Amino acid sequence: MVRQTDAFRLPGYDFVDPGLLAQALTHRSAAPLHNERLEFLGDALVNLIVAEALYQMWPKADEGTLTRARAELVRESALAAIARHMDLGAHLVLGPGEMKSGGHRRDSILADAVEAIVGAIHLDSGYEACRAAVLPWFDTAIAALPPPNKIGKDAKTRLQEWLQARGKPLPVYKLIGESGDEHAKRFRVACTTTDPPFECEGEATSRRAAEQLAADCVLELIGV
């Protein structure tokens, strides 16, 4: 094992059994006692905790809206963002191969570790303590959600539908740059519309995500 977990303090929770936290931070490449089973448990708990919060926050929202909002909050990139806010990558226990390939920066590994930690908290102290500790991690993302009637359609879809409804040409997306090492690439994409004449750029760890950011920027310029 090539990383240390002793220095890591989880925001909002102190483990009764530190061994559970150590297991949650251990990738399968590093040791036989790793975090995959905890991840399985944590995945279900994260979905429940977020679903409860949305159910209480939007009493008039239908099932489809709640489902789409939950998916937005618990998607891999959202959980990886939580991990980065905690600087979780610096405390993961990875095998030499994963370390060399930059596994501590990979969204999938970071998101899995977050779910494993949630599972570990539940085993350590039960559901109520788990919910109390975990829900604040989502506060910023929940506050950033659009109104319920705008949930469910991504920026590219909304931009395309807005232009189509007015008989205007569809947007054009163009990859204009790549940077970073192979395991940590970033993509810069431009989204251009001719009527109205706007162009925005987006940059992210995938081309699709960069396109979404660029489209969202154009929507803001249009005022949609």
CA distance 190 to 214: 6
Beta bridge pairs of residue 204 = 187
How would residue 4 be classed by pLDDT, with cut points 50, 70 and 90?
Answer: very low
CA distance 106 to 110: 6
pLDDT at 139: 93
> Does the structure show a pLDDT above 70 at 6?
no
The catalytic residues are 43, 115
Alpha helices in the chain (DSSP H): 18-24, 36-57, 63-74, 76-85, 96-100, 107-125, 127-134, 139-143, 155-165, 207-222
Correct CATH for 18-146 of 1.10.10.60, 3.40.630.30, 1.10.3720.10, 1.10.1520.10: 1.10.1520.10
Domain positions in the chain = 18-146, 155-222
Is 155-222 CATH 3.60.90.10? no
Mean pLDDT, residues 192-202: 95
pLDDT digits 0-9 by tens, 70-129: 988 998 889 999 999 999 999 999 998 888 888 888 899 999 999 999 999 999 999 999
> Does the structure show a pLDDT above 90 at 60?
yes
Decide if 200 contacts 172 (C-beta within 8 A).
no
How would residue 203 be classed by pLDDT, with cut points 50, 70 and 90?
Answer: very high
Binding site per annotation, positions: 39, 112, 115
Sheet holding 186-194, edge to edge: 172-179, 186-194, 197-204
Binding site per annotation, positions for Mg(2+): 39, 112, 115
Of 83, 170, 77, 89, residue with least CA distance to 118: 83
